[in-house]
Amino acid sequence: MLSILIFLLLLWHFYIGYNRGVLLQAFYFIGSLISLLIASRYYDNWAHKIALWIPYSNPAEGVSIYFFKDLNIFHLDHVYYAGIAFFAIFSLSYAIFRLIGVLVHFLPINYFDDWYYHLAGGLMAVCVTIIFLAMGVSILATVPMPMVQEQLHQHLITRLLIEHCPPITQLIKHFWVNKMI
């Protein structure tokens, strides 16, 4: 069910990006890349500070994890807090770009009205959605609860987003795992 929901969400965002056009969607895509840069610079300070504010589930006895297997289960809280801080900063900076995008939407941006420009806009919208989804399910993958681990492991799309989504998976591993532990 989760895979179907994610697939429908990706289709919906493709439709939205297709209708927005390539210029506005390129602005949002570049905004997401800049938001990734902003989050990568400032998340580590916040990751240590939010540990007192946001609870983390301690691993139960005998629990197994399906993701981040190369880490000690007792170090997953560092990855969790790094992910929460990174995702929060990314979301806030991307929201600023979305607000600016409302103003860009009022400009005459209908110059590129061929089908392939609309297709490019749809693909950029899907890429931005994949960035959000990969970060979200990767944060959930650090929670050592059997129900959460089983649900994420059962669905192909969530496994692909966590382990095999080339650019974002390497970024998550670099910033959340390698820099924090």
Closest among 158, 177, 164 to 6, alpha carbons compared: 158
Residue that is written with structure tokens 């941006």 in the block: 109
Closest among 103, 124, 97 to 21, alpha carbons compared: 124
Residue type, 20: R
pLDDT one-digit tens code per residue, 112-158: 788 999 999 999 999 999 999 999 999 999 999 999 999 999 999 99
pTM of the model: 0.93
Mean pLDDT of the chain: 92
| Confidence (pLDDT) at 150 | 92
Per-residue pLDDT band at 107 (split at 50, 70, 90): confident
Is the separation of the CB atoms in 150 and 2 below 8 Å? no
> Tokens for 48?
């240590």
Residue type, 94: Y
Neighbouring residues of 84: CB distance < 8 A, sequence distance ≥ 6 = 47, 50, 54, 139
Is the separation of the CB atoms in 22 and 137 below 8 Å? no
Please determine, for residue 162, whether its predicted confidence score (pLDDT) is greater than 90.
yes
Please determine, for residue 75, whether its predicted confidence score (pLDDT) is greater than 70.
yes
| Confidence (pLDDT) at 109 | 66
Percent residues over pLDDT 70 in the chain = 99
Can you tell me the distance from the alpha carbon of 57 to that of 37, in angstroms, rounded to the nearest whole number?
29
